[in-house]
Amino acid sequence: MSLTTGLLLLPRYPAAELCALAKRAEALGYDDLWLADERFFREVYASLTLAALNTTRVRLGPCVTDPYSRHPALTAMAIATLDESTPAGRRSRSARRWSSSGGCSPARP
Least confident of 13-27, 65-79, 87-101: 87-101
93 has a pLDDT exceeding 60: no
Report if residue 30 sits inside a domain. Answer: yes
Look up the domain containing 58 and give its range.
6-102
In sequence order, what are the residues at sequence separation of 6 or more whose Cβ sits closer than 8 angstroms to the Cβ of residue 41? 10, 11, 12
Direct distance between the N- and C-terminal alpha carbons of the chain, in angstroms, rounded to an integer? 38
Rounded to an integer, what distance in angstroms lies between the CA atom of residue 4 and that of residue 96? Answer: 20
Rounded to an integer, what distance in angstroms lies between the CA atom of residue 28 and that of residue 75? Answer: 29
Q: What H or E segment, with its residue span, contains residue 26? A: helix 15-27
pLDDT for residue 43: 92
Report if residue 20 sits inside a domain. Answer: yes
Report if residue 107 sits inside a domain. Answer: no
Report if residue 10 sits inside a domain. Answer: yes
Rounded to an integer, the average pLDDT of 37-53 is 91
Rounded to an integer, what distance in angstroms lies between the CA atom of residue 54 and that of residue 69? Answer: 28
pLDDT for residue 82: 83
Report if residue 48 sits inside a domain. Answer: yes
Per-residue pLDDT band at 10 (split at 50, 70, 90): very high
Report if residue 108 sits inside a domain. Answer: no
Average confidence score pLDDT of the chain: 82
